[in-house]
Structure 1
Amino acid sequence: MKKKIFRVSTVPISLNVLLKGQLNYLNQYFDITAISGGGEDLEEVRNREKIKIFEVEMQRQISPIKDLVSLLKLYFYFKKEKPTLVHSITPKAGLLSMIAAKMARVPYRFHTFTGLIFPYRKGVMQKLLIMMDKLLCACATNIYPEGRGVKNDLIEYGITQKPLKILGNGNINGIDLDYFNPDLYSEKDSLSIREKLNIGQNDFVFLFVGRLVGDKGINELVKAFSELPRSSNQNIRRNILLLVGLYEDDLDPLLPGTIIEIENNPNIISVGFQKDVRPYFAISDVFVFPSYREGFPNVLLQAGAMGKFSIVTDINGSNEIIENQINGTIIPVRNEIALKLEMMNAIKLLKKNQDLKNICRMRIKNMFEQSIIWEVLKNEYQNHVVNN
C-alpha cells in the first residue's frame, strides 16, 4: 500500500502553478493529497494531477480566530487520515500544518521555505514573523530552504538549529523544458506577435514579467529605460520595454512619475497579466529583473529556458540562477545607473554573440530541469517513509 503524503499550501494557486506536474509524478509512488483553500485552482489540481484534495481555508494575513479554526480542521483531518508525511510550502500553511501535524503525531513533517518575509520587515512585525517561523521549525522534522540565500538568512537570524537541506540545485519544481522551448516559436510566429504589439522587426526588446510594484524594481527599470540613449547600431530602430504583469496599487504602488512614464512613453508597452508568457519571451531580446527580494524566482528559470540573457539584482535566488557574465549580469539592488549601463551593454553584447541563446538554455537544462528536481524529491520521500 502506498504511503499517504499530504502537500499543503495556503492558497490553491501555489499548488496549481508552483507544483504543476509534480504531484501527478509523485502520485505514482505515494498516495498524494493536496490541501489548501478551495476554488477553481484546487479543482484544476485534482483534475490535472489526478490526486485527492481537501479544502481548508487559510488566511495569508495574521488572523488569530480564523487561524485557530484552520488549525483545528487540519488537526482533525490529520488525526483521521493518519498520513506518514505532511509537506508544506507557504508561510501560513507551513505554520498551521506543522503545528497540526505535530499534535496529530504525523511521523514526518517537512516544510520548504520558498522565501522569507522577516528580513525585509522591522520592529514588532519582524519579531512576530521570526517567532512564527521559529515555531514552524520547532514543529517540523525536516526543513528545506529553496536556495542558498534562504538558507543563509535562516541561519543568520537563528530561526532553527536543525539541519537545513537544499534539494538538488534549489527550486521546488524545476522547469519544463519542453513547454518553455524557444523552438516552439518560428521567426514567422515572432514577427506576427511583434506586429500585434506594434513592435518592429528591428526593435530591441527588454522584457519584464512579474507584478508591477516597487519591490520588483519597476521604478528603477522605467527610469533607466527612459534615459537610454538611442542605439548607435544601425540595425536597431528603437528600444522597447515590454511589461507583463499587473499593478498592485493597494499593496505596493509605483511612484506617480513611473506610472505617467509607462502611460505616455510610446516605447513602453504594458500588456497586463498573461497566463501564457512564452510568446513574450519569444519576441524579447533581454530579460530584466531588478527585484529587491526573492526566494527563488521561477520567472528567471523560464527566461533562461527560453534562451534569454538576463539582467538581475544581487539578491537571493537571482544570484544562484545567474552566473555573472555567463547567462546574465548581476547588478546592485536599487541602482538605476548600474541598470542603465547594463541595458546599454546588453544591446552591444547580444548583437555580437549569437551563441548566448544556447548558453542560457543549457545552464537551466543542466541545473534545473524538472525531472531532476522531481527525482530528488521522490528519493527524499522514499528515504524517510519507505520503512515507516
Structure 2
Amino acid sequence: MSAPTTILYFVNQLEFFLSHRLPLAQAAQKAGYRVHVAGPRSPSVARLEAEGFVFHHIPMTRSGVHPVQELATCWQIYRLLRRLKPAILHNVALKAVCYGSLAARLAGTRAVVNALTGLGFVFIARHRRARVLRQLIMAGLRLAFRQRRHRLIMQNHDDPRLFIDAKVVPPDEVVVIRGSGVDLDQFRPSPEPPGEIRTVLVSRMLWDKGVGDFVEAARELKRRGVPVRCLLVGDHDPGNRASVPIEQLTRWHEEGVVQWLGHSSEVAEVFARAHIVCLPSYREGLPKVLIEAAACGRAIVTSDVPGCREIVEHGRTGLVVPVRDGGALAEAIETLARDDELRRSMAGQGRELAVREFSVQKVLEETLAVYGGLL
C-alpha cells in the first residue's frame, strides 16, 4: 500500500471490539491502514488510543429502539463518514451493520464490509414482536446492502442461506470467515486437573446462551448423584434483553446447584482448571469460547445450532445435543464425566481442529484479503 488508507471500524461496544477484533485492527495498521474506531465512549477508549487508533464517539444504545435516539445515531455516523471519507467502513454486529450501511449509502462511502458476528436476540426470540422486528431488519438490510463495493462476512455456513434466500444480499457478496480466530500460544493444552470433574459454562449470563438449561442439567446431575461440579463463569449483562437477573444467579449459587464465579479475564486458566466446557446456546455466529476451549484441549458439550455445530464434530471433538434440552445436556455431561479416555481423546482432536481451522493468523489473512479485494 503506497499511501496510508483509512479504515473505520463501527462497533456498538468497545469492549467486544477489544476482545474479538483487536488483532484484526493491529494487523490492518501493520499493513499500512490508518485505523479509526467509532462507537459509544467507554473506559476502553484509553486502550484503543494507546494502540495508535483514532476514536470517534457515536452515541448508541445496544438494544434500545427509541426512534429519536436511533435517528441521532444514524445522523452521527453519517456526519463522520462525510467528514472522514474512509476507504473502507467495517461495521461489526447487527445494529452497527444496519445503521452504518444506511449511512454509508447516503454518504457515498467507497467500500463497506459488514461483519455479522451472530444474529442475536431478535433472530432467536419466538414472540410476535421479534418476528415483526426480524422482517423490518431484513427489509432495512436489503436496502442498506445495495453498495457499490460490499462484502458481508458471516461466521458459519448456516447463516448466509437465510440472507441469500431472502434476497437481502447476492451470493457473490458473502464471505464466510470462521470467527475471530484463536491465539494458539495463549490457549494451549494442559493436563486435566486432579480431583472432582468440573464442567464450566463461560459466557455472558444470558438466557439465550443456555444458562437456564445448564442449571437444569446441573440439577439433574445432582439428583442422579453424578460426581461433577457445574460452574458458571461470566458477568450478568443488564444492557441485554436476555440477561439473567443477578438475583437469579445469586439464588442458584446460594442453593448450591451451580457455582457462579462471575467474570474472569483469564479464560485459559479457567479451562485449565476444568475437564469439560459446555455452551448450550440457542444460536451463535461462531462462539469464540468454544474455539478457545478446543485449543486448550478440553472436550466440549454444545447444542445443535448454527455456529456451535461448526466447531464441534459430534463424537469426535465433543458431544452435540438438541437445543433447549436440559435432560440431554445432563446425559452428555455425565457421559464425558464418567469416561476419562473418551474425554481426553476428544480433547486431543479438538486441539488438532483448532490448529488446522481456527488460528487467528488464518482469520487475519482472510479478512485483509477482503479489504484488498474492495480497493
The TM-score range, normalised by the shorter chain, is 0.7 to 0.9
Q: Write out per-residue CA displacement over residues 293-350 of structure 1, whole angstroms, 9 at most, x where no aligned residue.
A: 2222111111111111100000110000111111111110111221121112112333
Instruction: Determine which of 77, 87, 90 is the counterpart of 1:87.
Output: 90
The answer to whether the 8 A contact 1:57-1:70 is kept is: yes
Q: 1: distance between equivalents of 2:24 and 2:252?
A: 41
**Structure 1 residue 156: Cα displacement:** 4.7
Aligned to 2:102: 99
Deviation at 1:241, TM superposition (A): 0.9
Q: 1:263: which partner in 2? A: 254
Amino acid at match of 1:244: V
Corresponding position of 2:229: 240
Bigger Cα displacement from structure 2, 254-263 vs 84-93: 254-263
Deviates more, 1:33-42 or 1:345-354: 345-354
Structure-2-length-normalised TM-score: 0.88
Quick check: 2:181–2:363 contact (8 Å CA) kept in 1? yes
Aligned equivalent of 1:205, options 198, 213, 226? 198
1:367 is the counterpart of 2:357: yes
List per-residue Cα deviations over 1:14-55 (Å, max 9, x = no partner): 2111112210111122222111111212321221x3222211
1:26 to 25, 28, 45: 28
Q: Following the alignment from structure 2 to structure 1, what is the Cα–Cα distance between the partners of residues 169 and 373?
A: 23
- How do residues 156-235 of structure 1 correspond to structure 2 at under 5 angstroms? 156-161=165-170, 163-168=172-177, 170-171=178-179, 173-183=180-190, 201-228=194-221, 229-231=224-226
Equivalent position SS for 1:31: strand
Deviation at 1:167, TM superposition (A): 3.5
Q: State the alpha-carbon separation in 1 of the partners of residues 245 and 99 from structure 2.
A: 33
Residues 164 and 127 (structure 1), Cα distance of their counterparts in 2 relative to 1, 3 Å cut: farther
CA contact (8 A) 1:311 1:331 kept: yes
Alignment of 1:290-329 (within 5 A): 290-329=280-319
Contact 1:11/1:58 (8 A) holds in 2: no
- 1:279 aligns with 269
Find the counterpart in structure 1 of residue 152 from structure 2.
Answer: 143
Q: Structure 2 CA distance, aligned partners of 1:80 and 1:257?
A: 47
Q: Please provide the CA RMSD for this pair.
A: 2.5
Q: Distance in 1 between matches of 2:357 and 2:152?
A: 21
Kindly indicate whether residue 47 of structure 2 is the aligned counterpart of residue 73 of structure 1. Answer: no
Letter in 1 for 2:36: T
| Cα distance in 1 for residues equivalent to 2:101 and 2:93 | 11
Question: Deviation digits for residues 191-233 of structure 1, max 9, x if unmatched?
Answer: xxxxxxxxxx3211111111333322222222222222345xx
Q: What percent identity do the matched residue pairs reach?
A: 20
Q: How many positions carry a matched residue from both structures?
A: 361
| Cα separation, 1, equivalents of 2:342 and 2:133 | 51
Q: Would you say the 8 A contact 2:189–2:351 is kept in 1?
A: no
Paired with 1:225 and 1:53, the residues of 2 have a C-alpha distance of 44
Cα displacement string for residues 236-292 of structure 1 (whole angstroms, at most 9, x for unaligned residues): xx3211111234577444799986453222x73221111222221001101111112
Which letter maps to 2:9?
A: R
Instruction: Name the SS of the counterpart of 2:174 in structure 1.
Output: coil
Give the Cα separation in 2 of the matches to 1:248 and 1:21.
25
- C-alpha contact (below 8 Å) 2:78/2:106 kept by paired residues: yes
- Which amino acid letter does the alignment assign opposite residue 14 of structure 1? F
Gaps of 5+ in 1: 191-200, 232-237
> Does the 8 Å contact 2:301/2:318 carry over to 1?
yes
Q: Which amino acid aligns with 1:88?
A: N
Larger Rg over CA atoms: 1
Please name the residue that 1:234 is paired with. none
Give me the whole-angstrom Cα distance separating, in 2, the residues matched to 1:378 and 1:256: 44
**Amino acid paired to 1:100:** A
Q: Is the 8 A contact 1:134 1:160 kept in 2?
A: no
Which range moves more in the overlay, 324-333 or 115-124?
115-124
User: Is the deviation greater in 121-130 or in 206-215?
Assistant: 121-130
Query: C-alpha separation between the residues in 2 aligned to 1:133 and 1:363?
Result: 34
Q: Aligned partners of 1:279 and 1:297: how far apart in 2?
A: 18
**Unaligned segments of structure 2, at least 5 residues:** none
Question: What is residue 135 of structure 2 aligned with on the other side?
Answer: 130
Whether the 8 Å CA contact 2:216–2:327 is kept in 1: the answer is no
Quote the Cα distance in structure 2 between the aligned partners of 1:80 and 1:277. 40
Distance 1:126 1:163 in 2: 27
Q: Secondary structure at the match of 2:44?
A: helix
